[in-house]
Amino acid sequence: MNRKQKKYVNTLAPLCMIGYYTFYYSLYLSEVPFSKRTARKHLKQYEITDKNTAQDRLEWFLTTGNRREFYVLQSSLLFLSEAEAKELLSIGEDETLIAKLSAVKKYMHRLNEHSIGAFDLSSALLLTKHAQRTGLLTQKEAQSYEIRAVRLAQTMYTSWSEYLTACTAGAEFVQKSTDDQEKYLNFQKNTLIKLMASKHSPFRKIEFETSFS
């Protein structure tokens, strides 16, 4: 990959993170890589301990991901009236399921047919970097996953704003409760504004359709 392509990947990868570091690493990931300790800690959260588990998890994000469950829940809500949907959310006992349904209801008419796929793709890119950093993937193997993820991103979305909205919806979807969702949005608000409006945002310097051919 050339310098522009590497910067593009480094911009996409941190978008699944939360808070200040999302913007920071979107700007500086190539100059300030994650430490091996941070990389191992993040991989452990996804039960990635060796090359096989790394490859299995990356394939899951690229081919299935959280977007499959989003599709399933979205399909169930589409057949309910507004009143029925509200009732379902109010009487449910599974806190995590209620949070997911709440996120689906909030975003299902704001996202394209690929829904929260952007969150899956950025997660794949970030985990790829961590896997390479800790020696679970070679540079060649990591680059192969990165190019796959980027090409999927450019196939599924048409702009930075569309991608970021889908990524934000995905991050909200995987929170464990509606309280956690509210905390996430409050914490992430300034970062999202910076990414879309700051003159320093990489979105203003890199074309979403940057070629990877």
For the chain, how many structural domains are there in total?
1
The model's pLDDT over 104-116, given as tens digits with 9 standing for 90+, comes to 999 999 999 999 9
Query: Is residue 183 a part of any domain in this protein?
Result: yes
Question: Does the residue 212 lie in any domain?
Answer: no
In a domain, 210, yes or no: no
Identify whether 30 is part of a domain: yes
pLDDT at 122 over 80: yes
Q: How confident is the model at residue 194 (pLDDT cuts 50, 70, 90)?
A: confident
Position 205 confidence tier, pLDDT thresholds 50, 70, 90: confident
Mean pLDDT of the chain: 89
209's enclosing H/E stretch is: none
Report pTM. 0.90
pLDDT digits (tens, 9 = 90+) for 14-53: 888 876 566 666 766 665 567 899 899 999 999 999 999 9
pLDDT digits (tens, 9 = 90+) for 43-88: 999 999 999 999 999 999 999 999 999 999 999 888 877 787 777 6
- The answer on pLDDT for 117 being more than 70 is yes
What is the structure's pLDDT at 31?
54
Asked whether residue 159 is domain-assigned, the answer is yes
End-to-end alpha-carbon separation of the chain, Å?
Answer: 10
| Residue 41 located in a structural domain | yes
Residue 184 lies inside a defined structural domain of this protein: yes
Using CB atoms within 10 A of its CB, is residue 132 exposed (0-12), middle (13-18) or buried (19+)?
buried
Structural domain of 139: 3-204
Is 213 a member of any domain? no
Measured CA to CA in angstroms, residue 154 lies from 47, 108, 113, 145, 200 at distances of: 28, 20, 14, 14, 22
